[in-house]
Structure 1
Amino acid sequence: MLMLKITPNKLTGTVHVVSSKSLSHRYVIAASLAEGVSNINNVLDSDDLVATKAAVMALGAKVEGSKVTGSKVKRVHDLIDCHESGSTLRFFIPIAMLQNEEVTFTGRGKLPERPQNVYEDIFKDKYLFSHPESSYLPLTVSGPLKSGNYEMSGNVSSQFVTGLLYALPLVEGDSKIVLTSPLESKGYVDLTLDVIKQFGIHIESNDDGFFIPGNQKYLPHDATVEGDYSGAAFFVVAGLLGSKILLKNLREDSLQGDKAILDFCIKMGGDIQFTKEGLLVNPSNTKGITIDLGQTPDLGPILMVLGALSEGDTLITNASRLRIKESDRLAAMVENLTKMGVKMDVYEDSVRIYGQKTLKGNVTLHTFGDHRIAMACAVASIKADGPITLDDEKVVSKSYPTFFEVFKSLGGILND
Structure 2
Amino acid sequence: MLEPTSYIKLSPGVYYGTLTAPPSKSYLQRAVAFASLCPETSVITGYKANNDTDAVLGLVKSIGAEVNIQGDTIHIKGLSQYDLPVHLHSGESGLAARMFGGISTLYNNSVVIEGRGSLLNRPMHMVEQALQLLGKTVVSQNGFLPLHISGKLQPGKITIDASETSQLLTGLLIALPLAKGDTTLHVHNLCSQPYIAMTLEMLEKAGVSIQHKNFSDFFIRGNQHFKPLQYQVEGDWSGAAFHMAAAAISGHVCIKGLNPTSAQGDRIICDVLKSAGALVTLSDEAVTVIKSDLHDFHFDATMYPDLFPPLAALAAHCKGTSVITGTQRLTQKESNRALSLQSEFQKLGIQIKLSENEMHITGGKITGGSVNSHNDHRIAMALALMSLNAKMPVEIEHYETVNKSYPDFFSDFNESKH
- Per the shorter chain, which TM-score range? over 0.9
- In structure 2, the residue matched to 1:223 is 231
CA distance 1:276–1:59, change in 2 (3 Å): closer
Q: Distance in 2 between matches of 1:72 and 1:61?
A: 10
SS at match of 1:97: helix
**1:146-225 paired onto structure 2 within 5 Å:** 146-181=154-189, 183-207=190-214, 208-225=216-233
2:46 partner letter: N
Cα deviation 1:279-302 (Å, max 9, x = unaligned)? 111112222121111110011111
1:344 shift after superposition: 2.5
Q: Which moved more, 1:226-235 or 1:256-265?
A: 256-265
Cα deviation 1:256-310 (Å, max 9, x = unaligned)? 0111111111111220112465111111222212111111001111111111111
2:266 partner letter: D
Q: Distance in 2 between matches of 1:265 and 1:411?
A: 20
Judge conservation of contact 2:85–2:109 (CA < 8 Å) in 1. Answer: no
Q: Distance in 2 between matches of 1:25 and 1:156?
A: 20
Q: Distance in 1 between matches of 2:187 and 2:338?
A: 27
- In structure 2, the residue matched to 1:98 is 106
Judge conservation of contact 1:20–1:44 (CA < 8 Å) in 2. Answer: no
SS at match of 1:376: helix
**1:33-52 paired onto structure 2 within 5 Å:** 33-52=37-56
Cα deviation 1:86-111 (Å, max 9, x = unaligned)? 00001001212211111211111121
Q: Which moved more, 1:114-123 or 1:251-260?
A: 114-123
- Calculate percent identity across the aligned residue pairs: 33
Judge conservation of contact 2:260–2:283 (CA < 8 Å) in 1. Answer: no
Q: Distance in 1 between matches of 2:306 and 2:151?
A: 32
1:34 partner letter: C
Task: Find out whether 1:366 has 2:372 as its counterpart.
Answer: yes
Q: CA RMSD in A?
A: 1.5
1:209 shift after superposition: 2.1
Judge conservation of contact 1:4–1:393 (CA < 8 Å) in 2. Answer: yes
Judge conservation of contact 2:176–2:183 (CA < 8 Å) in 1. Answer: yes
Q: Distance in 2 between matches of 1:286 and 1:114?
A: 36
1:156 shift after superposition: 2.2
Q: Distance in 2 between matches of 1:233 and 1:77?
A: 41
Q: Distance in 2 between matches of 1:111 and 1:23?
A: 20
1:218 shift after superposition: 0.5
Q: Distance in 1 between matches of 2:151 and 2:327?
A: 35
- In structure 1, the residue matched to 2:16 is 12
Judge conservation of contact 1:60–1:73 (CA < 8 Å) in 2. Answer: no
SS at match of 2:177: helix
1:113 shift after superposition: 1.6
Cα deviation 1:347-404 (Å, max 9, x = unaligned)? 2321111122x3111x211101110000010011101110111111110000001111
SS at match of 1:258: helix
- Aligned length, in residue pairs: 408
Judge conservation of contact 2:105–2:131 (CA < 8 Å) in 1. Answer: no
Cα deviation 1:183-220 (Å, max 9, x = unaligned)? 22100000000001100000001143211111110011
**1:213-252 paired onto structure 2 within 5 Å:** 213-252=221-260
Moved over 4 A (4+): none
Query: 2:7 is matched with which residue: 3, 6, 9?
Result: 3
Judge conservation of contact 1:102–1:140 (CA < 8 Å) in 2. Answer: yes
Q: Which moved more, 1:124-133 or 1:383-392?
A: 124-133
1:180 shift after superposition: 2.6
Judge conservation of contact 1:18–1:227 (CA < 8 Å) in 2. Answer: yes
Task: Find out whether 1:128 has 2:134 as its counterpart.
Answer: no
Judge conservation of contact 1:60–1:74 (CA < 8 Å) in 2. Answer: no
SS at match of 1:39: strand
Judge conservation of contact 1:272–1:280 (CA < 8 Å) in 2. Answer: yes
1:7 partner letter: S
- In structure 2, the residue matched to 1:21 is 25
Q: Distance in 2 between matches of 1:206 and 1:44?
A: 35
1:12 partner letter: Y
Q: Distance in 1 between matches of 2:60 and 2:391?
A: 47
1:310 partner letter: C
Gaps of at least 5 residues in structure 1 are none
TM-score, normalising length: structure 1: 0.95
1:45 partner letter: A
CA distance 1:75–1:63, change in 2 (3 Å): farther
Cα deviation 1:153-200 (Å, max 9, x = unaligned)? 24221112101101110111111110233x221000000000011000
Q: Which moved more, 1:380-389 or 1:57-66?
A: 57-66
Q: Distance in 2 between matches of 1:119 and 1:94?
A: 7
